[in-house]
Chains A and B, each alone.
Chain A
């Protein structure tokens, strides 16, 4: 080998390694980068910080904001106050969105749906959720989640990243960064989206909601598309078969390995490993998506939509298959919960989309022994107002955005089933007892995965950032 050439290469390499170690995030992550070269599954040293109850999480995000008082938080005390103006003593001058701030009256709209008590705990559910209510004893219901944001995009961004402005890492990326990946054939963070029937043209979802922000991009969520090829560029180019492709990769790897032996840059080893992962994904992803061998009774339990790829039901089934394959974080986004008008009909449609599949997912996970180490979360970005947006009639009303209180559900690993946590006032407007901020919720999720949320940090622009900013306390009341 030409010694001059070797010297040149060493020089360039040293410069690059030097720059990497000094300008970016010192020490820890450079080390993480080196270990990454050996196996694609390593997380940070020292993580998990304590014994994890959950190995993985399935987060069922209900995008658009489901109405808490029509589904989970009944208010019999105002049932006979239909049409009365919302008292100032309750609203306390709270800011409203421009969609209702011009309204002359704020007529109270009690829900028209009946509630019942379910399970041994007597947890309350609306009649719109006949399947989920049967899972009452598996669920913890938090009625006092509150958020800072009042519009969809900042509110979802806040749930996902702990900040209303875009640019910070999403929760799944933080988990991938801290804990690494368990499955060598699939990404650690997978996102699935579906359109709701309640309001088909609802708010869009931007890919940055599962972005890795300033964390290295290998931690970003991989969205499986809900139409066409689930993963882009998974199929070989037309006319290239697997054997031809395999030979190309073998040749590529041998040349990359040759280079590695000359210059010793660990990045080359990583690149070889990633080409191998890509090749494995060409078979692992189709295998993951192929549900043809699922027994009929399992498919039936998720409801008829399970046969329509890209539906919430089909995505719930895929979530279970990903949990079986130890994908760290599966996040579903079901759109269509934004019911400013015509709420009764629209919310019923959304419940039809999601009620049976969500319940089936919980049962399916339990029957396979996966629920004990899988954390399941269900909820949206904020709640809805008790007063009607637009006209209130005996059978119809709409509800505006309401950040002050809303309900979320948790189940599975480490969660105490049958708990109803927190209390809101008679108008479902303010929190009376046990508030849970979004940072508290995220701290709880990290805690179940064995992460002290104050320790998972990343230095960026001169500051140590974390998912929970400077806030957050795990909600002990819902933990087993």
Chain B
């Protein structure tokens, strides 16, 4: 709880359990309208800003999570099963046939663009696409 504390990006706790130091606000929480900790707040605005997109695209923790899930997807027998498991894990639903097709071709192209470890990296890109969906940010 002290020192790096909740500024440590490897923290896996839910943010409701974070201790917030007023002098060390958590950058990724601030990106997503975390309430000003010094005053009470009646409603929490939900804004959509470019730094959130940068966060989902390039933050180390986000990429690490995507890679972690990609390793699980890689163990699936084929691409269709990997896409289904990805949708189930991230969005809690199966992909539509159209999505299934679209993502399969995407994974194929991405895989060829990497020199090494293409399968895993392509699957990580797929997971990051899921993270960037409005549907992921707003749970049904």
CB distance from A120 to the nearest CB of B (A): 46
Q: Which residue of A lies closest to B125 (CB)?
A: A248
Is B48 an interface position by the 8 A CB rule?
Answer: yes
Q: Contact check, A217 vs B99: say whether CB atoms are below 8 A apart.
A: no
Interface residues of A in 214-234 (CB under 8 A from B): 214, 216-218, 220, 222, 231-234
- In the complex, A280→B18 CA distance in Å? 33
Interface centre among A207, A214, A217, A236 (most CB of B within 10 A): A217
* Min distance, Cβ A6 to any Cβ of chain B, angstroms: 13
Q: Would B47 and A218 count as touching, CB distance under 8 A?
A: yes
- Size range of the chain B interface in the assembly: 35 or more
Q: Does A391 contact B (CB under 8 A)?
A: no
Q: Mark B93-112, 1 if CB is under 8 A from A, else 0.
A: 00000110011001001100
Is A23 located at the chain interface by the 8 A CB criterion?
yes
Task: Judge whether A256 and B54 touch: CB under 8 Å.
Answer: no
Give bound CA distance, A39 to B38, whole Å.
33
A234 touches B113 (CB 8 A): no
A325 at the interface (CB under 8 A from B): no
A24 contacts across to B, CB distance below 8 A:
43, 45
One digit per residue, 1 when the CB lies within 8 angstroms of any chain B CB and 0 when it does not, for chain A 194-208 equals 000000000010111
Given contacts A167-B39, A267-B48, contact A233 B110 (CB under 8 A): no
Q: Which residues on the B side are within 8 Å of A245 (C-beta)?
A: 57
Q: Are the CB atoms of B110 and A247 closer together than 8 Å? A: yes
Question: Given the interface contacts A217-B47, A244-B110, A278-B54, does A166 sit within 8 Å of B36 by beta carbon?
Answer: yes
Please, how many angstroms separate the alpha-carbon atoms of A378 and B109 in the complex?
A: 54
Contacts of A50 in B (CB 8 A): none
Interface residues of A in 265-311 (CB under 8 A from B): 265, 267-268, 270-271, 274-275, 277-279, 281-282
The reply to whether B52 and A274 contact each other, CB–CB distance below 8 Å, is: yes
Q: Is the interface of B mostly helix, strand, loop or mixed?
A: helix
Does B6 lie at the interface of the complex (its beta carbon under 8 Å from any beta carbon of A)? no
Contact A255 B114 (CB under 8 A): no
Cross-chain contact A256 with B48 (CB below 8 angstroms): no
B99 and A255 within 8 A (CB) = yes
User: Do residues A216 and B58 form an inter-chain contact, with CB atoms below 8 A?
Assistant: no
Contact assessment for A251 and B133 in the assembled complex, using a CB-CB cutoff below 8 Å: no
Closest approach, in angstroms, between the C-beta of B55 and any C-beta of chain A?
A: 6
- Tell me which residues across on chain B come within 8 A of A8, comparing CB atoms: 140
A293 CB to closest chain B CB (Å) equals 25
CA of A402 to CA of B130 in the docked complex: distance in angstroms? 56
Q: A217 contacts which chain B residues (CB < 8 A)?
A: 30-31, 33, 45, 47, 49
CB-based contact A275/B132 at 8 Å: yes
CA distance A256 to B98 in the complex (A): 13
Chain B residues with CB below 8 A from A211, complex form:
36
Size of chain A's interface in residues, with CB distance under 8 A?
Answer: 61
Given A8-B140, A217-B49: A256 and B36 within 8 A (CB)? no
Do residues A271 and B134 form an inter-chain contact, with CB atoms below 8 A?
yes
1/0 contact string of B7-33 vs chain A (CB within 8 Å): 000000000000000010101001101
Q: Nearest residue in B to A185 (C-beta to C-beta)? A: B50
Whether a CB of chain B sits under 8 angstroms from the CB of A14 is no
Residue contact B54 to A232, C-beta cutoff 8 Å: yes
Query: A12 an interface residue at 8 Å Cβ cutoff?
Result: yes
**Chain A residues within an 8 Å CB radius of B54:** 231-234, 278, 281-282
Per-residue CB contact flags for chain A residues 157-198 toward chain B (1 = under 8 Å, else 0) read 000000001110000000000000000000100000000000
Cβ of B128 and Cβ of A248 under 8 Å apart?
yes
How distant is the Cα of A251 from the Cα of B57 in the complex, in angstroms? 13
| B109 pairs with A247, CB closer than 8 A | yes
Using A234-B54, A236-B57, A277-B50 as known contacts, say yes or no to A244 and B30 having CB atoms under 8 A apart: no
Contact, CB under 8 Å: A233 / B38: no
Between-chain CB contacts (< 8 Å), 25 pairs? A9-B140, A16-B138, A166-B38, A207-B25, A216-B45, A217-B33, A217-B45, A231-B54, A232-B27, A233-B58, A236-B58, A244-B110, A244-B113, A247-B110, A248-B128, A255-B133, A256-B134, A270-B48, A271-B53, A274-B49, A275-B57, A277-B50, A277-B53, A278-B50, A278-B54
Besides A243-B113, A461-B42, 16 more A-B contacts (Cβ < 8 Å) are A165-B39, A166-B36, A166-B38, A167-B38, A167-B39, A187-B50, A213-B36, A216-B33, A218-B48, A232-B27, A248-B129, A251-B102, A251-B106, A267-B46, A275-B50, A279-B53
- Where the two chains meet, the residues of B that have a C-beta atom closer than 8 Å to any C-beta of A are 23, 25, 27, 30-31, 33, 36, 38-39, 41-43, 45-55, 57-60, 63, 98-99, 102-103, 106, 109-110, 113-114, 121, 125, 128-129, 132-135, 137-138, 140
